[in-house]
Amino acid sequence: MEQAIRISCNRRNLKVVRDFVGEYLAGQQLSEVLVNQLILAVDEVVANFIIHANAENEKQFLDVRVTVLNREFGFEIEDGNSSTYSPGSYQEPDLREFVRVGKKGGVGMMLVNRIMDRVEYSTVGEHTICRLYKTLT
């Protein structure tokens, strides 16, 4: 079963997305830790699209879809804005260097990659799509 929402690109809508994902996962008999990890992963990707790809332009929208099939959870975040944002070129940061120089931020996608089994980006026309997958055994 798939559920979806559309939000404008405003940080205030991050709570809307967290609540949407949390409500969907509530009926799935998952541990609280796993539910919170999945919410965190989706929240991070949505925040990146809102802040970095759309500069919080409320005239832009994101579609967030959630599905489960055979114990594989899929989360799809689709951005209709054509931008120069290129999440597919992400490289994991050197945490030791971040600590050494006192850098804050820049580790969200590292967490997403560690939480999820697969993270895929694609572009179709002007749409950038991020797909997150987690399989439960």
User: Average pLDDT in the 71-91 region?
Assistant: 75
Mean pLDDT along residues 100-125: 82
Q: How many domains does the chain have?
A: 1
Query: What integer pLDDT is reported at residue 91 of this predicted model?
Result: 64
Host domain of residue 31 = 2-135
Q: What pLDDT does 27 receive?
A: 87
104 pLDDT tier (thresholds 50, 70, 90): low
User: Is the model's pLDDT at 97 over the cut of 90?
Assistant: no
Residue identified by tokens 């609540």 is 19
- Give tens-digit pLDDT for 13-65: 999 999 999 999 998 999 999 999 999 999 999 999 999 999 999 999 999 99
pLDDT beyond 70 at 3: yes
* The predicted structure's pLDDT at residue 89: 56
| Reported pTM | 0.87
- For 48-52, the CB contacts below 8 A with 24+ separation are 48/85, 48/87, 48/108, 48/109, 49/9, 49/77, 49/79, 49/85, 49/128, 49/130, 50/9, 50/10, 50/11, 50/13, 50/14, 51/11, 52/85
Q: The domain spanning residue 13 has which CATH number?
A: 3.30.565.10
